[in-house]
Chains A and B, each alone.
Chain A
């Protein structure tokens, strides 16, 4: 059990560019979640997969955001045409039973 892995740890991008983050969940976990956290606040739910199916999306997830989980394994979160307001920590988490969730170390995005 190697834990939830996220890549990259840090990303600096220019406004208007596209970025993609990767998350590898704990191997036997079928549920995968994406959250976003800004300074001084708790994480906010973005979207949730059970296996390869995306079951729920937050209204925070504008049409510039898209997430995939092909084959129910790793997941990617893409942000198109980044804006300065997208600067945040993007957290991935996974769960086997839906009761207890385990977070990765996050990807810190800075849009300049």
Chain B
């Protein structure tokens, strides 16, 4: 099956700093999503981004499908950004099965 690797595994930032999280995947995909899991365990969908670039406030994401990677950018980080960020991919746009990476754990210190 498809392999998903996320880097770095852990990231510690001071409030206000910027960061880039990376997701590499081993095969062509038609569905890619980024999620944030907060310290209480709730998974929040950030972006559906199988290709191209999207922005939502301080967050933006870029997927280069031909090179099999996606990047999540967090600017001017806040303590509420802390948690685990997951990338999830699927072969089919209508597939129920998504493969998740092991996540990047972000800690933002005040």
Cβ proximity bits B25-41 to A, threshold 8 Å, 1 near / 0 not:
00000010101000011
- Is B7 positioned at the interface, with any CB of A under 8 Å from its CB? no
**Chain A interface helix/strand/loop/mixed:** strand
Name the segment of A64-72, A73-81, A93-101 touching the other chain: A93-101
Categorize the interface residue count of chain B: 20 to 34
- Is A43 positioned at the interface, with any CB of B under 8 Å from its CB? yes
From A48, A49, A50, A108, B97 is in contact (CB under 8 Å) with A48
| Chain A-chain B contacts (Cβ-Cβ < 8 Å), number | 61
Categorize the interface residue count of chain A: 20 to 34
Is there an interface contact between B33 and A42, defined as CB atoms closer than 8 Å?
no
Highest count of chain B CB atoms <10 Å: which of A33, A93, A103:
A103
- Is B108 positioned at the interface, with any CB of A under 8 Å from its CB? no
Q: Whose C-beta in chain A lies nearest to the C-beta of B103?
A: A42
Is there an interface contact between B95 and A98, defined as CB atoms closer than 8 Å?
yes
Is there an interface contact between A45 and B102, defined as CB atoms closer than 8 Å?
no
Question: Restricting to B35-57, which residues have a CB under 8 Å from any CB of A?
Answer: 35, 40-45, 48
**In the complex, the 6 A-B pairs of residues with the closest C-beta atoms, listed nearest first:** A48-B96, A42-B100, A98-B94, A103-B43, A100-B48, A45-B97
